[in-house]
Amino acid sequence: MKQENISTHAFRLKPGEDLKEGIEKHIKEKNIKAGWIATCVGSLTDYAIRFANMPDGNTGQGHFEIVNLVGTVSINGSHLHLSISDSTGKTIGGHLMPGCKIYTTAEIVIQYSDKYEFIREKDGTTPWEELQIKEK
């Protein structure tokens, strides 16, 4: 059995950059095949989130703190959920979509393994392409 090597990659997105597009760009540049978000803090001026069991995303503008970002990442497809809060502390969250624009910063740490490869394909359990984990 292959020994697992876990690596860490940290980067920062700057004002005006798109959170999802920035993460995807780094995943491609580093050729990450099986990764996960270790942490992310920052802020947004615009959000685009698809709420649970809804066909379309919701958007908004203002000033929002990123209070959580979780999920799996891969050059074969990622699945990310975002939680944000406004100036009153009201928090919303859901599926991260393109359109989340950085306000001041997004400090992101991704960890990844060389033991696995994450792919997304339909497996008959749901109508969507779901995570399939391949051991190398």
Give the model confidence (pLDDT) of 44-55 as tens digits: 999 999 999 899
Does the residue 129 lie in any domain? no
Domain of 64 in residue numbering reads as 7-114
pTM, two decimal places: 0.94
What confidence tens digit (pLDDT) does each residue in 3-21 have? Answer: 789 999 999 999 999 999 9
| Paired strand residues for 132 | 119
128 lies in some domain: no
Assess if residue 24 is contained within a domain. yes
CATH of the domain at 47: 3.30.1330.80
Residue 19 located in a structural domain: yes
- The answer to whether residue 130 is domain-embedded is no
With beta carbons less than 8 A apart as the criterion, state whether 34 and 74 touch: yes
Q: How many domains does the chain have?
A: 1
Burial category of 5 from C-beta neighbours within 10 Å (exposed 0-12, middle 13-18, buried 19 and up): exposed
